[in-house]
Chains A and B, each alone.
Chain A
Amino acid sequence: MSRYAILARIRAANPNPQSPPHEAKPAPASLASTGADAVLRFRTAAEAKGVTVVDIDHPAELPLAIARTLSAANLRADAIRLNDPALIGLPWSDANLTITRGAAEPHDMLALSSAVSAVAETGSLLLASGPDNPSSLAFLPETHLVTIARSTIVGTFEEAFALLRTRYDNSLPRAVNIISGASRTGDIGGRIVQGAHGPRQLFVFIT
């Protein structure tokens, strides 16, 4: 069997596999930040990637904040796709948006996901797939909105992975999507264009 043949050839090429395991080093100090600094750094890094970041004081304000943000960006939508029970109960009629549930569909204009964590060093969001946050929501719709709790914004990826480990105990959900800006490509003439296959715009709401 090929499995045994390959492993045997590797072992023959590595006659002394007793070399000590590699000790992973902590993240570079210049990338670290905590607390309010981490939130600020997250915002700055995300904005540098073309992401719009909006602060809100109370989760109940989310629908109105979304309505205002969309209208400022000249985006129109009647429906918003979301599945997180914590978001479904919000006053969406305030924003004239109807909720659609389930996985994303080809012609969705707008979807809202909740992030597990966000990372200041690069302004990235960590989304974990599951019934509350199907991963298609982050890729099929024209515009993607993400909420993130201020308390889950960490300095470095190592801290975000530690959060994942506490939550999932090394059995990760099907997809963990680390999102750092909207979809883009530089494949035509070397110029960056947003909205290649995924969302054209990404909005983050810090609650």
Chain B
Amino acid sequence: MKPDTAHFRESAAAAIADPRLQSALAKLPGGLVAQRRAAVSALPEFEALRDEARAIRDATLANLATHLEAFEAKATAMGSRVHWATDADEARRTISEICSRANARLVIKGKSMVTEEIGLNAHLESSGLDIIESDLGEYIIQKRGESPSHIIAPAIHLTEADVDADFRAYHTHLDQNRELGTPERLVAEARAVLREKFLSADVGITGANFLISETGSSIIVTNEGNGDLTQILPRIHIVVATIDKVVPTLNEAMTLLRVLARSATGQDMTAYTTLATGPRRTDDLDGPTECHIVLVDNGRTEMLASDMREALRCIRCGACMNHCPVYNAIGGHAYGWVYPGPIGAVLTPALLGITETSHLPNASTFCGSCESVCPVKIPLVSLMRTWRERAHDQGPRTLTARILSKLWSAAATRPALYHLIACFAVAIGGALGRANGRFRALPLARGWLKHRDLPAPQGRTFQQLWKETERGVPR
């Protein structure tokens, strides 16, 4: 999809003012967040598993080339064809060549973030193919011409009523007076419509949660079973995965799966976890006759060589966005590209460059909730801070911002001067604010005070308090 990260501030403001979006987002804390909490408290070793998951990811990244070569060798031995793509363009061309060699007309897809990242659907459509997303959430947003607003719950920004209206508009071959209205009926309708597509598709495209070197398998996890129908029924299966998805052994993948499902939806295991290894065997009664695996770099090797390396540990559970107060307030679309929330604020600048994405690392209060739930302990706050510093060093700044920043650094590097200014502010502020204990309006701070009050100073400066106490602790 085409990024629109430069208008983050406008998009975020619009999202906050959108009552329909706000009512959809209101379900997040009681849903995914509460479910994760219950799953985590049911497993006493969860914290130890997070450390283990982090260690597995770090060790794999430290030896990534070897593990990828081992994966390629085993996958090839099992009958898959492995392709390598340095960037989005090469990945798209590789996939569209496989489709055109097979004279494909209809492509069905399982949910895959990397195919969103490389803009696969638009590319395949422009070469004359029909593309149908089969994950229910993805199907809904594909019909709306939208992008996912969450990496595991792509239609989380929509309500039941939205989907009802959409299905009536899209499924015009069905009786216009039919009863819909409940999630059960809507799901049944989508199931019937998509079943036809599964049966007539020539190519099935899925992502991969993991690639296993030991067995040459790709692993996908789904709850709907759509990913499985996608890789069983069409005659060609294409797996698209970035190079960081490789895991040496099944046992290590299991540790990652144990933290993945619990962090994502609070399940101990999703309904379907499938290891797919090559095309159908001579005595098999079903399965694709060709299996292709497209390994995509698209910026990962640059991240590996940079100080953003730790973000490559990500296993795409979505917990960071579920727990992010900013994501909860504005939803995923405001971030302007495929990866929203804290991981998006780190990943998007790494993949698209900081110039166009400089607002994203600011979309955080640095409360640290994201880090505290990340199953592979990515230091999201410090990575966002690194991007803020880089945006500050490289980005264009207004004259006001430059003057204020100069003034601030002049005061902050001179403790005596700082103290003098603080004493002045405390004295004046304390006197003026004594009546209410807080300010509702102040000159030059209209924006800040629009949504909150400023507490009035309480008579002494921080430096005075610090001196009077034992390093901040009362004597």
Contacts and interface: CB of A to CB of B under 8 A. Distances in A.
B217 interface: yes
A29 interface: yes
Contact of A10 (B68, B191, B199): B68
B406 interface: no
Given A12-B305, A17-B63, A187-B155, A30 B255 contact: no
A185 interface: yes
A1 B83 CA distance: 11
Interface in A133-170: 134-136, 138-140, 157-158, 161, 164, 170
Contacts of B249: 24
Interface stretch (B117-125, B269-277, B413-421): B269-277
B86 A10 contact: no
Contacts of B301: 6, 9-10, 13
Given A124-B269, A196-B136, A174 B280 contact: yes
B52 A175 contact: no
B271 A184 contact: yes
A13 B64 CA distance: 10
A174 B279 CA distance: 6
Interface stretch (A52-60, A66-74, A89-97, A98-106): A98-106
Nearest to A50: B271
A177 B221 CA distance: 10
A134 B284 contact: yes
Nearest to A26: B251
B224 A183 contact: yes
Interface stretch (B226-234, B373-381, B423-431, B435-443): B226-234
Residue of B154, B214, B268 with highest tally of chain A CB at under 10 A: B268
Contacts of A10: 64-65, 68, 243, 301, 304
Contacts of A198: 224-225, 228-229, 271-272
A76 interface: no
Interface in B56-82: 56, 59-66, 68-69, 78
B278 interface: yes
Interface string A1-13: 1110111011111
Contact of A178 (B66, B187, B255, B273): B273
B18 interface: no
Contacts of A24: 56, 249, 251-252, 255
Given A9-B305, A189-B160, A103 B281 contact: no
Contacts of B403: none
A12 B64 CA distance: 11
B276 A174 contact: yes
B85 interface: yes
B183 interface: yes
Main secondary structure of the interface of A (DSSP, over half): loop
Contacts of A124: 269, 273
A175 B183 contact: no
Interface in B249-287: 249-252, 254-255, 257-258, 265, 267-281, 283-287
Contact of A2 (B48, B90, B191, B284): B90
Nearest to A28: B45
9 contacts: A10-B64, A21-B248, A31-B43, A136-B285, A136-B286, A186-B153, A188-B136, A193-B187, A197-B198
Nearest to B271: A181
Interface of A: 1-3, 5-7, 9-14, 17, 19, 21-22, 24-25, 27-31, 45, 49, 83, 102-104, 106, 121-122, 124, 129-131, 134-136, 138-140, 157-158, 161, 164, 170-191, 193, 195-199
A108 B297 CA distance: 42
Nearest to B138: A187
Contacts of B287: 129, 134-135, 174-175
A170 B229 contact: no
A9 B243 CA distance: 12
Interface string B185-208: 011101100110011000000000
A158 B271 contact: no
Per CB-CB distance, the 7 closest pairs between chain A and chain B, nearest first, are: A198-B225, A22-B59, A28-B45, A13-B305, A196-B224, A187-B137, A9-B301
A14 B155 CA distance: 38
Nearest to A196: B224
A179 B268 CA distance: 12
B278 A187 contact: no
A68 B219 CA distance: 36
Contacts of B134: 197
Interface in B153-188: 153-156, 159-160, 163, 183-184, 186-188
Nearest to A83: B285
B275 A17 contact: no
Contact of B84 (A6, A21, A129): A6
B223 interface: yes
Contacts of A83: 285
B200 to A, nearest CB: 11
Contacts of B285: 83, 102-103, 131, 134, 136
Contacts of B163: 188-189
B277 A172 contact: yes
